[in-house]
Chains A and B, each alone.
Chain A
Amino acid sequence: MNIIARLKPFNTPLTLAVGTLLVAVLTAVLGIPLLTRIVTVMFVSIILVLGLQLYMGNSGILSFAHAGFMGIGAYTSVLLSMTPAAKELTNSNLYPFLIPLHLPFLPSLLIGALMAAFIAAVVGFPLMRLSDAAAVITTFALLVIINVVMVHWDRVTNGPRTLFGVDNYTHLWTALIFCVLTIFAVYFFKESRVGLRLRATRDDAYAAASIGINMVVMRWLAFIASAFIAGVGGGLWAHFITSFTPYSFYLTETFVILAMLVIGGPYSVSGAVIGTLVVTAAREVLRAIENQVNILQIFPEGFFGFTEVVLSIVLIVILIYRPTGILGGQEIRWPPRLRGGTPADTNISTERISGGKQNV
Chain B
Amino acid sequence: MINLEFIINTLSLGSLYAMLALGLVIIYGILRLVNFAYGELIMMGGYTLYLLAGFSPLPWLVVAVLAVLAAMFTSLFTELVAFRPVREKSLTAMLITSFAVSTLLQNAALLIISPRARAVVLPQIFQTSVMIAGTSVPWRNILTIVTCIVMLTLLTVLLRRTVLGIALRAAADNFRMTRMLGVPANTVISAAFAISGIMAGIVSIFWIARSSTVTPTLGAPPLLVAFVATVIGGMRSLTGAVVGGFIYAIIISLLGIFLPPNLLEFREAFMFVFVIIILLFRPQGLISSKTAVERVG
Q: Which residues of A contact B (CB under 8 A)?
A: 60-62, 126-134, 136-138, 140-142, 144-145, 148-149, 152, 205, 209, 214-216, 251, 255, 258-259, 262, 301-306, 308-309, 311-313, 315-316, 319-320, 323, 350-354, 356-360
Tell me the interface secondary structure of chain B in the complex. helix
* Complex: A259 Cα to B100 Cα, angstroms: 8
Known pairs A144-B224, A352-B90; list 7 more (Cβ under 8 Å).
A60-B92, A61-B92, A132-B91, A133-B294, A259-B100, A350-B93, A351-B88
Does A131 lie within 8 Å of B295, measured CB to CB? Answer: yes
* Complex: A32 Cα to B294 Cα, angstroms: 52
Does A152 lie within 8 Å of B266, measured CB to CB? Answer: yes
Does B107 lie within 8 Å of A309, measured CB to CB? Answer: yes
Count chain A CB atoms within 10 A of each CB in B107, B231, B268 and give the residue with the most.
B107
Q: How far is the CB of B145 from chain A (nearest CB, A)?
A: 28
Let me know if B86 is at the binding interface, CB within 8 A.
yes
Let me know if B244 is at the binding interface, CB within 8 A.
no
B residues near A152, Cβ cutoff 8 Å: 265-266
Does A133 lie within 8 Å of B295, measured CB to CB? Answer: no
What would be 29 A-B contacts, judged by CB atoms less than 8 Å apart?
Answer: A127-B276, A130-B279, A130-B280, A131-B296, A133-B235, A134-B279, A134-B294, A136-B34, A137-B279, A140-B227, A141-B273, A144-B268, A145-B272, A216-B297, A255-B100, A255-B103, A262-B96, A304-B111, A305-B115, A308-B103, A308-B107, A308-B110, A312-B101, A315-B96, A316-B104, A350-B93, A359-B174, A360-B176, A360-B185
A residues near B106, Cβ cutoff 8 Å: 305, 308
B residues near A354, Cβ cutoff 8 Å: 90-92
Given contacts A62-B95, A141-B276, contact A305 B110 (CB under 8 A): yes
Chain A residue, CB-CB nearest to B31: A360
A residues near B89, Cβ cutoff 8 Å: 319, 323, 350-351
Q: How far is the CB of B168 from chain A (nearest CB, A)?
A: 15
* Complex: A205 Cα to B177 Cα, angstroms: 24
Q: Of A132, A301, A312, A319, which one neighbours B32 at CB under 8 angstroms?
A: A132
Given contacts A130-B280, A130-B294, contact A312 B107 (CB under 8 A): yes
Does B93 lie within 8 Å of A319, measured CB to CB? Answer: yes
Does B104 lie within 8 Å of A309, measured CB to CB? Answer: yes
A residues near B224, Cβ cutoff 8 Å: 144
* Complex: A308 Cα to B216 Cα, angstroms: 13
Interface residues on B, range: 35 or more
* Complex: A22 Cα to B110 Cα, angstroms: 38
* Complex: A313 Cα to B90 Cα, angstroms: 19
Q: Of B82, B86, B272, which one neighbours A141 at CB under 8 angstroms?
A: B272
Does A301 lie within 8 Å of B280, measured CB to CB? Answer: no
Chain B residue, CB-CB nearest to A352: B90
Given contacts A130-B283, A303-B111, contact A357 B100 (CB under 8 A): no
Let me know if B275 is at the binding interface, CB within 8 A.
yes
Does A301 lie within 8 Å of B104, measured CB to CB? Answer: no
Does B97 lie within 8 Å of A316, measured CB to CB? Answer: yes
Does B103 lie within 8 Å of A359, measured CB to CB? Answer: no
Given contacts A309-B104, A316-B82, A323-B90, contact A136 B95 (CB under 8 A): yes
Does B269 lie within 8 Å of A149, measured CB to CB? Answer: yes
Given contacts A304-B111, A305-B107, contact A350 B273 (CB under 8 A): no
B residues near A209, Cβ cutoff 8 Å: 297
Let me know if B113 is at the binding interface, CB within 8 A.
yes
Let me know if B175 is at the binding interface, CB within 8 A.
yes
B residues near A205, Cβ cutoff 8 Å: 296
Q: How far is the CB of A317 from chain B (nearest CB, A)?
A: 9
